[in-house]
């Protein structure tokens, strides 16, 4: 059993890896948000993501982390420019196969901003 910190949410991918994610980032994934909102949810609960592999979850978390940091930036013009540059680089680095898998994972997790970027 993995040690769970109160400051993280544990997500278990289809290939068995456990990712520790901050609650702020985890809640941006609507599928995870719904799980967290259930009355029976405890911080020690490991949330299974049966349709998401570790590689895709890592990319989704990277995307969400960066965009969260940009949104905290106080200058909106700079944050919009930074977000556009990051999004362009993020999408360009993916092969067609990786993009397809990422779209499927983002759809399952209901990460709307990422879906809009990929489609």
Query: What does the pLDDT read at residue 77?
Result: 62
3-state SS, residue 49: strand
The answer to whether residues 64 and 109 touch, using CB atoms and an 8 Å cutoff, is no
Query: What does the pLDDT read at residue 84?
Result: 84
Q: pLDDT per position in the chain (119 positions), as tens?
A: 344 446 889 999 999 999 999 999 999 999 999 988 886 777 778 999 999 999 999 999 999 998 888 777 656 666 677 788 888 899 899 999 999 999 999 999 999 999 998 88
- What is the fold, at CATH topology level, of the domain defined by 9-118? Potassium Channel Kv1.1; Chain A (3.30.710)
Structure tokens at 19: 């990712």
Query: What does the pLDDT read at residue 1?
Result: 35
**Per-domain residue ranges of the chain:** 9-118
Query: What does the pLDDT read at residue 71?
Result: 74
Distance, CA of 89 to CA of 72 (rounded, Å): 20
Distance, CA of 12 to CA of 14 (rounded, Å): 7
Query: What does the pLDDT read at residue 65?
Result: 92
Distance, CA of 3 to CA of 118 (rounded, Å): 34
């Amino acid at each position: 059993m993995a040690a769970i910190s109160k400051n993280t949410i544990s997500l278990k991918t289809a290939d068995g890896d456990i990712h520790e994610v901050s609650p702020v980032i985890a809640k941006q994934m609507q599928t995870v948000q719904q799980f967290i909102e259930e009355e029976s949810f405890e911080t020690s609960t490991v949330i299974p993501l049966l349709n998401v592999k570790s590689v895709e979850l890592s990319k989704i978390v990277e995307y969400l982390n960066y965009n969260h940091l940009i949104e905290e930036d106080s200058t909106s013009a700079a944050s919009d420019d930074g977000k556009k540059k990051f999004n362009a680089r993020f999408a360009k680095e993916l092969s067609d196969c990786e993009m397809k898998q990422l779209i499927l994972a983002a759809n399952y997790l209901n990460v709307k901003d990422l879906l809009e970027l990929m489609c």
